[in-house]
Every structure is written in structure tokens, then in C-alpha cells.
Structure 1
Amino acid sequence: MKTITSTANPLYKELKHLATNAHARRKAGRSLLDGIHLCEAYLQHVGLPALCVVSQSALEHHEAAPLIAQCQAGAVSGIVLPDSQYQALSQVEHGVGLLFVIETPHVVVPAALTQSAVLLDNLQDPGNLGSILRSAAAAGIKQIYCSEGTASAWSPKVLRAGMGAHFILEIFEGVDLAALMASAQVPVLATSSYATQSIYQADLSGALAWLFGHEGQGVAEDLLQLASQQVVIPHRGQMESLNVAAAAAVCFFEQLRQS
């Protein structure tokens, strides 16, 4: 592995740009996986990264060393950075210094919605998006459709919250949800506090799609009207509604329970 100690090194400057600039990541078509868990999940589910970046202190770390060795065995380019320079690339505090640069998957939106999926309308919070991806993957749902305005699925914060879910999902971004719903071959269910039927009364035993919206404003009204059905998650107490990621998890696992 090549050691880089100068902050003026062109490759280091490029890495720092990718780490701190979402536009740079989109333009380059690359994403950064920061930390042992994400790197390990990528190797397990996808394969080798484009570049392996290691801090000096992580070279002999008991968790990092086998992953580094796997990259070296696969002839992956690698660089070693002083800890201080590595930290300028990382958003993880007190983490092990291992980072993969990967090609961001480019997937073509299917012609029609034919299997269980999640549709996200203008979801803003990276933590919520990552949590939804993680819950969907755990419940066996494979497809995620994100509208324009939804947080970038491959941003560092969403990747960390997803905990490796990205690598077992198909994630489609910039999707026209209205067109997708119009051609859907499975029911599309939206949660609404105004609905009269609870998710526990609804038939969730077959393939279906879930529609969730903006944390504050909810699903856009035009999309809500296109939904096959609106359901409510019953709850007690004086809270008006659940956090969207919590609501999604309840829905996914009730569908799983009924299947």
C-alpha cells in the first residue's frame, strides 16, 4: 500500500473533496464507506472496492487487518494516511481508520412496480432514510424508490444509518413516483392519521408498496390520492404521530408477520 503524508498530494486532495462535497461525489459517481462494518458488509455482499484507504493506526487493528488483506489479495489499490490526515476524511468519531471508495451503483428504474417496495416522497432526514433502508432490508423488502428532493441515499450519513442495507437493496433515486404508482401492478398503501382502517385490519399478506413522505408535511396530496389504500397505525397517548422511520418499521414488520 502506498503511504501518503502530504496534504498537497493530488489523490489526497481528491479524497478530501469527495468526503466533504456531495456534488463532487455525484459528479465522480463514487461514494465513501467509512468504518469497519460498512466495509465488511460491502466485501460480503458486493465485492472489492475501487480504493482502500487506511489510517496508520488501523494497519494492525484486529478487525481492519483481515479486510485490508482481502483487498490486497484482490489487487485493490490502497493508501495509508497519518491518523490526522485520515480524520479529515472521516465523519466517524473514535472509529477504526478504514474507508472504501466505491462506484455508486447506477440502476435503471423498472418499467412497472411488480413487487413489494418502499416509495419515499421528499424524505429529508438522512438518519430517517438510513433507518428505513435498514428496516426494509430486515423485513425482506428489496426495492426502494426515492423522489427528487429525498435525501441522497449514498451520502455518508445515510450509509452509516443504513448499516449495510444498501448492499442488499435496489435503490432508485430521482423517481417520478406519480408515474410509478400509475403503472403499479401491486397495491400502494399510504399511512395517514385520517384513515379509518388500521394496518392490523388491512390485508398485507401479498406483495405491496408502502408510501411515506416528508417528516413534517407527510405525503404530497396528489400522491396520497393515487394510493390504493390509506391506513393508520393506532397508538395511545397524546403524540400526534410517529417518527416516519418508526412508522415504516411498524408497517414492514406487520406485513412480514402476515406473510
Structure 2
Amino acid sequence: MKPITSRDNPLYKEIKLLATSSQARRKARRTLLDGIHLCDVYLRQVGHPVLAIVNDAASAHPEVAALVAECERRRVQAISLPDSLYKAISQVENGIGILFVVDTPEPSDPGALAESAVLLDNLQDPGNMGSILRSAAAAGVRHVLCGPGTVFAWSPKVLRAGMGAHFLLNIVEGIDLETVVSAARVPVLATSSHAAKTVYDVDLSRPVAWMFGHEGQGVSENLLRKASVTVGIPHIGKIESLNVAASVAVCLFEQVRQTMASPDGKT
């Protein structure tokens, strides 16, 4: 494991740029996985990273040492950083210091949707995005399609909130959702607080595409008009609406419930 002690080191500068700039991450098609859990999931489910980075203070931690040993077995370069340099690139407070630099995967073209999917219109919050990805992966939904303006799915904050869900999904960014909706071969359901039908009134035992929007404004009017049906989530408390990530979970797991109850249902 190679030690780096200077903030002027070219490799360190490159890593810090990835840590601090969404534009740099998009351009390089690389991002950072922060923490033992994400790094372990990546090694088990995806493959080897581009680079492993360890905080000097964590190098003797058993789980960190095991991850580094596996990286070295796979001939992955590993570097160690003093605490002052490591803290400048890690966004996890009081975490156990290990990071991976990884390539962001090339998404596959979903074509005309014929299976269940989640469509995100101008979603802004990284925590919401990560939670939605976790729900989609847990519900067996494979495609997550993100319209322009939606938060970058591969940012470190979204990755932490996703807890490894990214590696089970086909995430397509910057896609024209109007074109996707027009070409879809499955019903497209949009959530709206003004819908006459609820999520419990529609047949979800077969594949559908779910459309969710901006945290404050919801799905855009143009997309709402293109949806096959709009649905709401009933609630009895004196609150105007649910958080979008909670809404996604309710909808997807109502679909899971109906699918499991149907002998020929599939997502």
C-alpha cells in the first residue's frame, strides 16, 4: 500500500476533485464509494475498483484490512492517507476510513418499456434518491430512468443512501421521459395528490411504470397528461402529502403485494 502525504500529489488532487465536483464525476464517469459496507458490496457483487484509499488510522481495522487484502489479491492499487488528507475527501463523519474509486457503469437502453420501472422527474434530494433506489431494488424493479435536472444518481451522498442498491439496477440519466412514456408498452402511473383513484384501486399485479416528481412540485403537467392514470396515496392524518421516497415505497410494495397474490403476476 503506497502512502501519500502531500496534498499536491497529482493522484490525490484527482481523487479530491472526484470527491468535491459532480461535474468531474460525470466527466470521468467515476465516483467514490465511502465506507466498509459499500466497498464490501462492490467487491462481492460487481468486481474490483479502480483504486482503494485507506485512512492511516483505519489500516489496522480487521474489516478494512480484509478489503485491502482482497484488493491487493486482485492487483488493485491501494494508497494510504493521513487523517488530514483523508477527511478532505470523505463525507462520512466518524466513519471507518476506506474509500473505493469506481467506474460508473454504462446503462443499457431500456427501449420501449415492457417491464416495471421507476421514472424520476426533476427529483432533487440525494437522500430521497438513495432511498428510492433501495426501494426499487428491494421490490424487484430493474430500471430507474432519470429525467434532466434529477440529482446525479452516482454522487457519494446518493450512493451512501442507496446502500448498494445501485449495483442491482439499470440507472439511466438525462433521458427524455416524455419519449419514454409515449413509447411504453406498460401502463404509466403518475402520483398526484389530486388524483381520484388511489394506489389501492388499480391493478398492479402486472408490470407498470411508476412516475414520481420533484419534492415540492411533483410530476410536471406535461408528463401528468401523458400518464395512463394518476393515483394518490390516502392518509388520515392532517398532513398535506408524504415525502416522495415514502410514496415510492408505498406504491412499489403495494405492487409487490398484488404481484405475490397473483399466481401469474410478475414485475
Q: Fold match, TM over 0.5? A: yes
Contact 2:4/2:81, CA 8 A, preserved across alignment: yes
Gapped regions of structure 1 (runs ≥ 5): none
**CA deviation vs aligned residue, 1:107-138 (integer Å, no higher than 9, x gap):** 14322111110000000111111110011111
Written as runs of structure 1 = structure 2, the 5 A alignment for 1:57-96 is: 57-96=57-96
Identity of aligned residues (%): 63
Per the normalisation by structure 2, the TM-score is 0.95
Give the total of aligned pairs: 259
CA distance in 1, matches of 2:27, 2:234: 44
Name the residue aligned to 1:256: 256
| Aligned residue type for 2:192 | S
C-alpha deviation, 1:13, in angstroms: 1.1
Written as runs of structure 1 = structure 2, the 5 A alignment for 1:122-137 is: 122-137=122-137
**CA deviation vs aligned residue, 1:18-57 (integer Å, no higher than 9, x gap):** 1111111111111100111111111111010010011111
Contact 2:108/2:170, CA 8 A, preserved across alignment: no
Which segment is superposed worse, 22-31 or 120-129?
22-31
Name the residue aligned to 1:231: 231
Name the residue aligned to 1:172: 172
C-alpha deviation, 1:68, in angstroms: 1.0
Coordinate RMSD, CA, aligned: 0.9
1:191 aligns with 2:197: no
Per the normalisation by structure 1, the TM-score is 0.98
Which segment is superposed worse, 187-196 or 176-185?
187-196
Name the residue aligned to 1:244: 244
C-alpha deviation, 1:9, in angstroms: 0.8
Contact 2:181/2:227, CA 8 A, preserved across alignment: yes
| Aligned residue type for 2:153 | A
CA distance in 1, matches of 2:163, 2:239: 29
Name the residue aligned to 2:34: 34
Which segment is superposed worse, 22-31 or 163-172?
22-31
CA distance in 2, matches of 1:89, 1:233: 40
Written as runs of structure 1 = structure 2, the 5 A alignment for 1:79-228 is: 79-228=79-228
**CA deviation vs aligned residue, 1:213-259 (integer Å, no higher than 9, x gap):** 00111100110011111111110121111010000000010000010
CA distance in 2, matches of 1:72, 1:238: 56
Gapped regions of structure 2 (runs ≥ 5): 260-267
Q: Which runs of 4+ in 1 moved over 3 A?
A: none
